[in-house]
Structure 1
Amino acid sequence: MVRVMVVDDHPIWREGVARDLEERGVEVVATAPDGAAAVRIARAVRPDVVLMDLQLPELSGAEATAQVREALPDTQVLVLSASAEQGDVLGAVRAGATGYLTKSAAMEELVDAIGRTAEGQAVFSPGLAGLVLGEYRRRETEAPDEPQLTPRETEVLRLVAKGLTARAIAARLTLSHRTVENHVQNSLRKLQLTNRVELTRYAIERGLDVDE
């Protein structure tokens, strides 16, 4: 039996999916309401598959995915999101997600995808697999452009390199915590990095941790 953790910030959706999975023979070992809790709980229960939403408080689904995969290489992550946007799909894959389903998927499709994900297979909603394959083929044949961060993204990146937390950055720049996390995720996607450690290394290598 596949051991699954369900991560979603909407309680009714989270508990409903967990219940439906258990009724179909999937063992739900834990649930989590946000990205930070997902990482912490996953380390404790070590599920076979983490069913991960992307739009999460505290820590985004993409960043939580990266941290789970780094801490638990044998745990697979299957994203279940309302978004089918190219940036979200590719960002999740770069973070280490094995597959990506939209929330319009039928429960039978989800159960099948969980089983295949547990075996290490890449599972995507119709249309998304071609999107991912097409993007990687494009990257192989085209010279990558120099990524362009916005002034605000660069400002946030500089503070990340200085070791400030997202909440500290939010307070300093008079932004919401969620806005700061969005800037971090946008920078990760543009720079094709997977987590804050790589982001900090990138900033330090370019001298962004030094006051202008």
Structure 2
Amino acid sequence: MRVVLADDHSLFRDGIASLLEQAGYEVVAQAEDGQMALDAIRLHKPDLVLLDVVMTGMDGVETLQHIKAEWPQIKVVMLTVSDADEHLFASIRSGANGYILKGVKANEFLEMLAGLERGEAAISRKTAARLISGFQALTRQKETRNKLSGRELETLRLMGHGLSNRAIAEQMFVSENTIKYHIRNILHKLEVQNRTEAVALALREGLIEQK
């Protein structure tokens, strides 16, 4: 399998390249940023790209998106120190075939890469569990959001900012009684007892943002 390796730390690149070559992979090019990786891919047409998430210039996720748009058949695995959910989910949504943390043991790393050739995703069980949990949370968020009308969501957002019923009514150009009606509906639909519980649930499910 022909590999392009992109990471802005040369010492790490050299170590991974050596490990891959010992395992029978052919490292056809190394790159220190996203643009160099794209140039190398265009020249060498590899089977696999190992891509860091955080790089100077074009970051890994943006580079991944370019790769999948131009060469969808190339497998791309993110190899990174970042275990942030935002990087993980952005990578998977953008078409990554795997997401491996740099702290992984060498034999586990090579086994995950071997799994790519069997049609498996190159991710650890822990990362797979995080993905499942994350997508379940997104499903719950969508279901919860669909329960509420647009005006109820706006009322809930302003509740999260700590505004009183009167202040919410003024911002939404409606009567205070209308806001009380919206709040009763919100509590009923979210199956909570009071404003505090409603706001806590909305924050937890990502319906509103912490001010």
Q: TM-score, normalised by structure 1?
A: 0.64
Do the aligned residues in 2 keep the contact of 1:76 with 1:120 (CA within 8 Å)? no
Indicate yes or no: 2:141 matched with 1:142.
Answer: yes
Cα distance per residue 1:98-147 (max 9 Å; x no partner):
1111001112222222222244421213411111122222223332879x
State whether residues 43 and 71 of structure 1, in contact with CA within 8 Å, keep that contact through their aligned partners in structure 2.
no
* Pair 1:123-2:122 in alignment: yes
Q: Give SS of 1:90's match.
A: helix
2:102 is matched with 103
Q: Deviations over 1:140-179 (max 9, x none)?
A: 3332879xxxxxxxxxxxxxxxxxxxxxxxxxxxxxxxxx
Larger radius of gyration: 2
Equivalent residues of 1:5, 1:47 under 8 A apart: yes
Kindly provide the amino acid, as one letter, of the partner of residue 40 in structure 2: I
> Structure 2 CA distance, aligned partners of 1:30 and 1:119?
24
Q: After TM superposition, what 4+ stretches of structure 1 lie above 6 angstroms from structure 2? A: none
Distance 1:10 1:40 in 2: 18
Does residue 74 in structure 1 map to residue 91 in structure 2?
Answer: no
Higher helix share: 2
SS in structure 1 of the partner of residue 114 of structure 2: helix
Count of equivalent residues: 147
Matched with 1:8 is 7
2:191 is matched with which residue? none
Q: Counterpart in 2 of 1:86?
A: 85
Match of 2:17 in 1: 18
Q: What residue in structure 2 maps to residue 62 of structure 1?
A: 61
**Superposed CA RMSD:** 2.2
Q: Is the 8 A contact 1:43 1:72 kept in 2?
A: no
State the structure with bigger RCO (CA 8 A, min sep 6), 1 or 2: 1
